[in-house]
Structure formats: structure tokens, C-alpha cells
């Protein structure tokens, strides 16, 4: 490996300190670039804008939480660069390497002794009056949800142009297997092994209790049409970017050609991470 990009969680002092340690250890042998804000803090010359992260890099190191990882994945735009996520946040399903494990893990990665998990992304767009007004690729989920003061909303859903149902609910979640342990899980959705390629559709507090989560094949295009008038409804992607929806807007969701490669921990597997993060078996 010759070039590394490091992205730190914003205003996270321990992430910036850790980035400085990595630069001291590997800066003489490799070309290291740091996100702009962290580079200014460390007075480090080699800067990379988040919009250009991964370009020409052999490795991306994310120092933070899952939110930082989700942002990096969106800006990566399908570039085939492995990502090492170091958890300095909360649960850390995506940034699964601990700070204590990082030195040994990074040494293995630099020497080529690592395995990756390829994760699908979803392409999400909004069609309004026949024209595309919003488009993003997401790693976790796309959520249609009502304002806190809005009434229950109607969302008409189609799979490959075939009518599925009209959900009367507080909202609707389209999730990747990677995002299955996020908002979808809290709304009663299933956990999918992250390397699978399905799409999960999970209603939020549906009026009909028979409206259960459904798992859809990867090769379909889904469309959700907002059928409620005079309600404040928002499309949120990866819990970070919001877009206000209007009556009869069409939200189109399909598997993206872009994927993300996350470096697996050498210390524990996915099921151990599930037990640890979700505290299974504890009383």
C-alpha cells in the first residue's frame, strides 16, 4: 500500500489524536492524506476533501462511528477501496475495530493480511411531476416518515411496477442488509447477514398489524408514492440527509451498482459482534 486516506469524526479529539499516531507510524513509508478539518487541527499539509475521498487511495481509515462511515460510503461513489473502520462512537456495527485492536489490525492490513465484506448500496431518487429532483446512493437505509405533528400517511408501493400495497403508517423504511441492524430493526424488521443482497421493506407503526416487514430480491425496482395531501413528510437517507416530499412524489429504490468493501475484524466474527452490540444473553 502506498496511499492512505484518513477520515475522522468531526470535532472528535481522540479520533484526531489517533490519526496523528498513524501518521507518525506510517507517514515516512506511505503517502497519507487527512480530511480537511482534521488536517487543519494537526497543521498537516496533505488534505483530502470528503467529496474526493478514496480517489487514488489504496486504503481508507475511518476513525469515528457508523455515521462517519456512512458519509464516507456515500462520497466513495463505488470506488473499490477497502475501508478500515475504527469505532470511537456508540454501537459500531460498521466501524467494528476497537481502538485497542487498531495497531495490530492496521499492521495486518498494510501487509495485505486481511479479508473484506462487500456490502450493497441502494440508489434512491425522487421523481416529481416526471422529473428527477433528488438522488443519492445509501449504505444503510432510506426512510419516508411523517412530521411529528402529522397524521398517519398513505404510501402506495410498487415492485417492478406491480402494485404491492398501500401502507397506512407513520412511515416506511427501505433498508440494505447492512442497515438491517439500524432503524429497520427498531421498527420490527429482521436482521440480515450483511453480505446478502436483498432489500428490506419495513413499515413504521402500521395501522394494519398484518403489514409486516418483507424481504425483496436484489434485482427489482421499488417505487413508493406519497398519497397523503397536506402532510409534512420527509425522505431521510442514512439518517443524515433529509428531503421534503410532496403529494404524489415517487420515491424510487433499487440496488446500486456501487458497493462498499469493509475490512473484517481478525479478532471476532459477525455473530460475536451481534451478541456484543445487542447484548444477547444478558439479563
pLDDT in tens, 203-236: 999 999 899 999 999 999 999 999 999 889 999 9
Rg of the chain taking only CA atoms, in angstroms: 20
Residue 151: the pLDDT is 83
Q: Which of 35, 66, 238, 249 is catalytic?
A: 66
Active site residue 66: yes
With left for phi above 0 and alpha for psi between -120 and 50, is residue 159 left, alpha or beta? beta
Task: Report domain extents, the chain.
Answer: 3-115+264-278, 121-257
**pLDDT mean across residues, the chain:** 94
In this prediction, residue 10 has a pLDDT band, given cuts at 50, 70 and 90, of confident
Contact 142, 180 (CB under 8 A): no
User: Going by CATH, does the domain composed of 3-115+264-278 fall within 3.40.50.10330?
Assistant: yes
Quote the CA–CA distance of 143 and 155 in Å, as a whole number. Answer: 12
CATH number assigned to the domain covering 121-257: 2.60.200.30
- Give the Å distances, CA to CA, from 10 to 73, 84, 184, 256: 16, 17, 26, 28
Check residues 150 and 274 and name the one with the higher pLDDT: 274
| Per-residue pLDDT tens over the stretch 17-52 | 999 999 999 999 999 999 999 999 999 999 999 999
Amino acid at each position: 500500500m502506498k496511499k492512505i486516506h484518513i477520515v475522522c469524526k468531526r470535532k472528535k479529539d481522540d479520533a484526531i489524536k489517533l490519526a496523528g499516531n498513524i501518521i507518525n507510524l506510517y507517514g515516512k513509508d506511505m503517502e497519507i492524506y487527512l480530511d480537511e478539518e482534521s488536517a487543519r487541527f494537526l497543521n498537516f499539509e496533505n488534505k483530502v476533501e470528503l467529496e474526493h475521498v478514496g480517489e487514488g487511495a489504496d486504503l481508507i481509515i475511518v476513525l469515528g462511528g457508523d455515521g462517519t462511515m456512512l458519509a464516507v460510503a456515500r462520497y466513495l461513489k463505488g470506488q473499490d477501496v477497502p475501508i478500515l473502520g475504527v469505532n470511537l462512537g456508540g454501537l459500531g456495527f460498521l466501524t467494528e475495530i476497537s481502538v485497542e485492536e487498531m495497531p495490530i489490525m492496521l499492521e495486518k492490513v498494510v501487509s495485505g493480511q486481511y479479508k473484506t465484506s462487500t456490502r450493497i448500496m441502494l440508489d434512491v431518487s425522487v421523481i416529481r411531476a416526471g422529473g428527477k429532483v433528488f438522488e443519492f446512493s445509501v449504505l444503510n437505509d432510506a426512510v419516508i416518515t411523517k412530521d411529528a405533528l402529522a397524521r398517519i400517511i398513505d404510501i402506495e408501493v410498487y415492485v417492478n411496477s406491480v402494485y404491492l400495497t398501500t401502507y397506512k403508517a407513520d412511515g416506511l423504511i427501505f433498508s440494505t442488509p447492512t442497515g438491517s441492524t439500524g432503524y429497520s430493526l427498531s421498527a420490527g424488521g429482521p436482521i440480515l447477514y450483511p453480505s446478502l443482497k436483498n432489500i428490506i421493506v419495513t413499515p413504521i407503526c402500521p395501522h394494519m398489524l398484518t403489514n409486516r416487514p418483507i424481504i425483496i430480491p436484489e434485482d427489482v425496482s421499488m417505487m413508493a408514492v406519497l398519497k397523503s395531501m397536506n402532510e409534512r413528510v420527509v425522505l431521510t437517507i442514512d439518517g443524515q440527509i433529509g428531503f421534503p416530499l410532496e403529494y404524489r412524489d415517487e420515491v424510487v429504490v433499487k440496488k446500486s451498482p456501487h458497493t462498499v468493501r469493509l475490512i473484517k475484524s481478525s479478532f471476532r466474527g459477525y455473530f460475536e459482534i451481534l451478541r456484543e452490540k445487542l447484548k444477547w444473553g444478558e439479563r
